[in-house]
Chains A and B, each alone.
Chain A
């Protein structure tokens, strides 16, 4: 059953916020992020309409809000597994919910000029340029519309060598804070939110997704969660080395054979999560562990955000769909 509540993040939350604003109950930003303000507004709405004021938008409240409509599950949950995994890892990486995480944007804080996209491709290592070239080639009308008067500059930037690309990136950001300046900030974010650019991002993340599914076979795990976990490992940690692999296999061999299938899967995922986290740089072990365990168990808090994989991302403890 779909419920939108505190910490939910989805375009559907934006619809709820817009509706509450029309009713004069909500005055905050339409940011698709279900926070305390949205919750208070929902409670007020529920009281006014004779519903139990629990601050959660379930089928009844949705029905009352939108006059008879059936509640919709987040659109994200109907996407392909690759897209959902990318959205989840992207959300961890950029600290924003989808679809904003596909437009993650950072300046030259790390000497790489400019990092953009769900997996923070950058100019310095030359990983971002192919994506920008591709979107410009496949959707010329889109890039022309978004960059408008700045399109010639965008095009010229793609044509020069990396030194001058880095120089360009530094000329459009604040040297002290490494924040991109307008209009480039807004234009790139807009580009990142378009389905066309997200398709390009998905294409460039495809190889990592393949690696993740291969890893699932190696460790004999089969669920959607397992793919999400392996994908997150390939993005954040690169891979699993031989020593960690041996540790994981020993942990898994020690598991009770009588466990039901689903519990066995979760136990295996937790072993992978813990062992991989412990192999990280000491400073980041707990950070990595929280993130990986949130995937393994399906719920958790990462960087101050609450995650519920099944409800928010449609990543469940069920076999991968082909």
Chain B
């Protein structure tokens, strides 16, 4: 599917007027909604964490950009996670309507990879700070 085709499927009207399939069991609709909200709160938590690191932590001695190196990627990830959560909600809702298998989620992979990456960066910043 082309990028413009993919974006067209994510438009609110495209989901609301999805006439392929039937209205799913409301419990699944609610569960999909709650999953979206849980990912949204995770995104907000990442933004808070990033902002807290940059604004509230004391500077790392010898690593002047240390706090920005740790905080800014978390804020960017928060924004990215919110967008992916919406795309996943659309895909899941469409699968529920059509009674098909639920698509595999990439969100846990994104989150795990970023947390692992941030742990490595944190260790490097702390070591560099301690060695100076």
Do the two shown chains form a genuine complex with each other?
A: no
